[in-house]
Amino acid sequence: MQLRGMIFDFDGTLGDTVPICIQAFQRTFHHYLGHLLPAQDIVAMFGPSEEGMLQRQLPQTWPQALDMYLEKYARTHATCRELFPGLLPLLTTLQGLGVRLGIVTGKGPRSASISAHMLGLDVFFIGRVDWLALDRGTLSQQDAIVRAARRTGLSATAIGQFFEQMSTAWMPIAGTVDLLHCLHVKGYPLFCLSNMHVASLAYLEQAYAFWAVFTGMVISCRVQLIKPEPANYAHVLAQYGLEASHTVFIDDTAVNLAAAAQLGIHSDQGVHDN
């Protein structure tokens, strides 16, 4: 049999994300119920997505509770940014062999998007070509929705809702923002090099003020270049007259850091909330 596709579970299979789910639920329920639920009580609720769990337990306030849960989830996820050992080379090998990769999960779309980004998974799984084209700015969101609906059998409306939720799911990591301001005050020139599609970028630029600390920005959808392509790093160096040996690149994904290091840029993985 020729292997054409492989489907993975998410929580507890690709990364150690179950404890993150439990902690985020505990903190959210503690806020709304006034007491801390044991981990086994949280696990007993598993089955539906987090939206479904919160609707059952907090029928009157679940939308607000969902926002709190996602905030706690993203913050707690800062302590878990790596796949289980051996999975990164496995996924890389399967992708190189042309095996289509997919995830089946009970997670809601917003928490799944957070985890996929934190663990560096969004470059591996089905829809990767479209996702990269979105980031590169060569595919419109509407065209991506049509193609995803055709590929998955889901309605264009459902796919559109997912895109809308995903675009607004991004939240800043407090420790990173603090570091940005600290470096800015000390006079270090700061630059943003990011893979980001148009809708998410528009939301982030409108929602947060930390962009003001950057001397310059190279965003994939604006320059049609994406990490880890060497041309992307060469572009930012040339655009702003930077010397690789005097430049530090901070990113949360190993493959992006390795590509920068090949050009002589000093690399550091991740900045956590602590």
Confidence class for position 127, pLDDT limits 50, 70, 90 = low
Backbone φ and ψ of 184, nearest 5°: -65, -45
Residue 249 has pLDDT above 70, yes or no: yes
C-alpha separations of 42 from 11, 51, 273 in Å: 14, 14, 25
> What pTM was estimated for this model as a whole?
0.56
Contact at 8 Å (CB) between 16 and 84?
yes
State how far the Cα of 210 lies from the Cα of 251, in Å rounded to an integer: 17
pLDDT digits (tens, 9 = 90+) for 200-230: 999 999 999 999 999 999 999 999 888 888 8
Q: What domains are defined for the chain? A: 1-94+101-121 (no CATH), 127-169 (no CATH), 174-269 (3.40.50.1000)
DSSP 216: E
**Per DSSP, what are the bridge partners of residue 15?**
11
Q: Provide, for the chain, the percentages of residues in helix, strand and coil under a 3-state DSSP scheme, each rounded to the nearest 5.
A: 55, 10, 35
Residue 109: how many other CB atoms lie within 10 Å = 18
> Can you tell me the distance from the alpha carbon of 71 to that of 75, in angstroms, rounded to the nearest whole number?
6
Rg over alpha carbons for the chain, rounded to the nearest Å, is 20
| pLDDT band per the 50, 70, 90 thresholds, residue 243 | very high
Tokens describing residue 232: 């992307």
Alpha helices in 34-173 (DSSP H): 39-45, 50-57, 62-77, 87-96, 109-118, 128-136, 141-152, 156-167
Tokens of 95: 């992708």
pLDDT (tens digit, 9 = 90+) per residue, 63-112? Answer: 899 989 999 999 999 888 889 999 988 988 887 787 878 887 878 777 88
Coil/strand/helix, residue 187 = coil
SS3 248: strand
Q: What is the pLDDT of residue 272?
A: 46
Task: Return the pLDDT at 85.
Answer: 92
What value does the mean pLDDT of the chain take? 87
pLDDT, one tens digit per residue, over 131-153 is 778 888 888 999 888 887 776 66
Using DSSP, state whether 127 is helix, strand or coil.
coil
